[in-house]
Structure 1
Amino acid sequence: MSTILERRSLVRKPADQPDETRPFVDGKGKMQVYELGDHLFGRGEFEPGWKWSQHVKPIAGTDSCKAAHTGLILQGRMTVQMDDGSQVEYGPNDFFYMPPDHDAWVVGNERCVLVDVTGVAKYAKPH
């Protein structure tokens, strides 16, 4: 099928059928990646105790997360701290924008689940 036809076709992709799954270190979660037309979407599951600097940094090989994330928290809580020390805690039904150069961690004992619409292309992949 040509690219032009793909852009004009309806697409349905069940959440349990990602195009790619990127597991985090120590089984602390995963990023599921979905290709929809020209767009990538991510559904991240972050287990209690997950922290970017412990569970993704070894995969990415960078000092902090270099992706810019835009999306929505569906469940749980996550704190994001910029390299300059500023931080925000996000919770259910919060839309978010997280610029590059940050660390992040799950708050509390509940899994954090989110949808990311901008930062998935290189997230949790070797830099």
Structure 2
Amino acid sequence: QAETLCNSIGILFQTASPASFPGFDKSGKTPSRNENQEDHKRMFATLIAQNAKDIDTLIESLPSEDSSAEVQTASMQVLEEEGEAAAARLRLGIDRGEGLLEEINRAMSDIATTQLAINRITSAAQGDLIKI
């Protein structure tokens, strides 16, 4: 959107004729067509230089010719080994988590069984008290 705005302003500068505003223009003259063209030339020269710098930066960021298939293969192998090591650590973590979950389930089952036994004992004791 900023580029479109800049282009629109550029078109306005290119096609609009200079106008003077009474009481506003201190010099009393409007820039000539030649002055506008010189400004455009300077602006375009600056833009071309900036684009050239951007292109150089992009070219420098491209992989060099020294980056052969062997270097890329070695890099991929290192990444694959790191991925396998991470997968092994993940498997160990999952196995440990599943073991802990089984322990928790056994403990919960023991707690539930104990609570039921306590409730039966309490109910039986209350029943004996009522009969007395």
Pairwise same-fold verdict (TM > 0.5): no
Give the structure with higher Rg (CA). 2
Structure with higher RCO (Cα < 8 A, 6+ apart) = 1
**Which structure: greater strand fraction?**
1
TM-score for both structures, normalised by structure 2: 0.17
Query: How high is the TM-score relative to the length of structure 1?
Result: 0.17
